Amino acid sequence: MLTVKHLSKSFGTFKALDDLSFSIEDGKILGLIGQNGAGKTTTFRLILDFLSNDSGEILWNGHTLKEKDFDSIGYLPEERGLYPKVSIEEQLLFFASLRGRSRKEIAPKIDEWMEKFQVKGKKTDKVKSLSKGNQQKVQLIATLIHEPKLVILDEPFSGLDPVNAELLKNGIIELKEKGSCVIFSSHNMDNVEKICDHLIMLRNGETVLNGKVSEIRESFGRTKLYLKSSLTKAELMQFDGIHNISEREDGSFDLTLTTPDVGEKVFSEATKNGYIPMFNQQPPTLEEIFKWKAGEINE
């Protein structure tokens, strides 16, 4: 378990991180979101002891991180870095050796990991011969091949197409199932919503959201309504409490309600003649919540 208590960090007069607290249990995934400069990378660097904190503490299984603990950490920085003139195999063996893993232990796993992430190329190929996407997959393998107990991924989905992003998601979930703690940052709210057990949002170093994704969404109320019925846009506009209406090509409507109870009135009117194809009342999406919370700083 990773525990962060009241962590703060300043650079001169700039407060990069202010009183951050959270914990990640074994086999859980935490998503860290926020605008650029919110404090996500600073958090990772403090955990990894790249920076010294001003106050607070970081505990791994109840104790401060010691030198030997770092061999059980996998870290993917936002700024990728591989040796272009070194082969995939030698690269992976080298990075694993930095985590205390032997050639004998890692070499037999390379083919399996390359297949898992569908790397296009042979393990004897030099990194510079690979496409940008395949280079990124090699770096991901270098982060994960020693099967770390704590995995820190800074914008891991950046630059990945949907197919490769799905491969990465599956890799993260597999580590979770094996009991690893995973913490990652992302600007892709869909990825965060699908795989995270817990979510923290930072804004200018301060925590503005902290909890389970489902609970955070529900706290904003079920004010999103997706409707397909015989009701027209003009008829829907007559309802008090509908803040916004947008019509899709298939004739359905996306409605934003001022309060969740407005949905009951719409449902009653839409179903007065019986069956309707669609009535789905949901809380706002995580992306919408992100935009609202990020925008508050400008209000």
Domain boundary among 217, 242, 267: 217
Tell me the C-alpha to C-alpha distance, in Å, between residue 71 and each of 39, 95, 148, 224.
Answer: 25, 11, 8, 46
Do 259 and 201 belong to one domain?
no
DSSP track, 146-170? T--SEEEEESTTTT--HHHHHHHHH
Do 32 and 130 belong to one domain?
yes
Top-confidence range, 133-147, 210-224, 283-297: 210-224
Identify the pLDDT of residue 293: 87
Do 153 and 90 belong to one domain?
yes
Do 192 and 74 belong to one domain?
yes
**pLDDT band with cut points at 50, 70 and 90 for residue 296:** low
Do 28 and 168 belong to one domain?
yes
Do 210 and 253 belong to one domain?
no
Here the CATH number for the domain that contains residue 246 is 3.30.70
Do 65 and 181 belong to one domain?
yes
Do 186 and 67 belong to one domain?
yes
- Percent over 70 (pLDDT), the chain: 99
The letter for the amino acid at 89 is: E
Q: Does residue 274 carry a pLDDT above 70?
A: yes
Do 27 and 108 belong to one domain?
yes
**Average pLDDT over every residue of 270-294:** 92
Q: State the chain's mean pLDDT as an integer.
A: 90
- In degrees rounded to 5, what are phi and psi of residue 224? -110, 130
In a domain, 297, yes or no: no
- Percent over 90 (pLDDT), the chain: 64
Do 234 and 270 belong to one domain?
yes
- pLDDT, one tens digit per residue, over 38-53 is 999 999 999 999 999 9
Burial 97-129 (b: 16+ CB within 10 A, else e): eebebeeeebeebbeebbebbebebebebebee
Do 209 and 240 belong to one domain?
no
Do 68 and 169 belong to one domain?
yes
- pLDDT, one tens digit per residue, over 249-271 is 999 999 999 999 999 999 999 99
**pLDDT band with cut points at 50, 70 and 90 for residue 191:** confident
- pLDDT, one tens digit per residue, over 229-239 is 999 999 999 99
**Average pLDDT over every residue of 132-148:** 87
Domain count, the chain: 2
In a domain, 287, yes or no: no
**Average pLDDT over every residue of 112-132:** 89
* Domain carrying residue 110: 2-217
